[in-house]
Amino acid sequence: MERNLEIKKIPRTISGSLNGISKSNNKIERRFGAFQIQKVGNKYVHTLNHAPNENLQHTTLLIKNELCIDLKIGDVVLIEVIDYSQTNSFGTKVILEPIRILSVGDKGVNDFENLEYSKLLMEISLDYISKGWFSGFILETTAKMCLTDQYKDKLLEFYYMLQESRIRNALKKYTAQQKKRLHEAPSLPDLMNYIYSLYQESISKGYVQITG
């Protein structure tokens, strides 16, 4: 069952400390992410990060604060975060602080009636495709949003542009990896299947084939 909620945020300055984590790093970044809740602990919320262009879902810790009170195991949440990840000789421990929860639901983000949220989804998607990304929770959710009754008349052209960009980006990745042996790029068959399904989904909605 989906749960709609207002966009909630915590006003912050990037200074001081929280739970022993330093916030004096000038390289700290604010960004967005989709996370599936796995465990709610005393200090951290343990999640799987639905990263774009990745089949693997990476374990990520969210610093537990007042925004996390209503989160439940299984929820998929779209959140704006500040990144306090820690890197050492053993690797990187991904630690993020939620500063704004945009939407939450046990089956994914579907709060499309919230206009601010819908515009933000489009902005994030444009940023993602400009970076060469093509898959993942946010891009797929945005494509789904464009086809709802509320938006399909206004956003159909945006949908076509989004899908074409995703297909082009996926083809670029496939072309870059296709000369590698399968054990070096084991995801190639899955990637080709993804491109095909993405194209079929697009043309079923009136999408015109890429030329040139």
Tell me the C-alpha to C-alpha distance, in Å, between residue 89 and each of 12, 29, 59, 66: 30, 22, 18, 33
Domain-located, residue 8: yes
Can you give the residue range of the structural domain that contains 65?
2-105
Domain-located, residue 211: no
Strands, E assignment, the chain: 2-3, 8-9, 17-18, 21-22, 30-40, 44-49, 58-63, 76-83, 86-88, 91-93, 95-105
Domain-located, residue 49: yes
**56-99 residue pLDDT tens:** 567 888 999 999 888 889 888 888 899 888 788 887 778 889 99
Please give the Cα distance from 210 to 45 (Å, whole number).
43
* Among 105, 136, 151, residue at a domain's last position: 105
- 86 shares a domain with 126: no
Please give the Cα distance from 10 to 146 (Å, whole number).
29
In the chain, the number of structural domains is 2
Domain-located, residue 24: yes
| Residue indicated by tokens 């990304």 | 133
**114-143 residue pLDDT tens:** 777 788 889 999 999 999 999 888 898 899
Mean pLDDT of the chain: 78
- 156 shares a domain with 100: no
pTM, whole model, 2 decimals?
Answer: 0.70
The domain that holds 81 is classified in CATH as: 2.40.50
By percentage, how much of the chain surpasses pLDDT 90? 22
Domain-located, residue 208: no
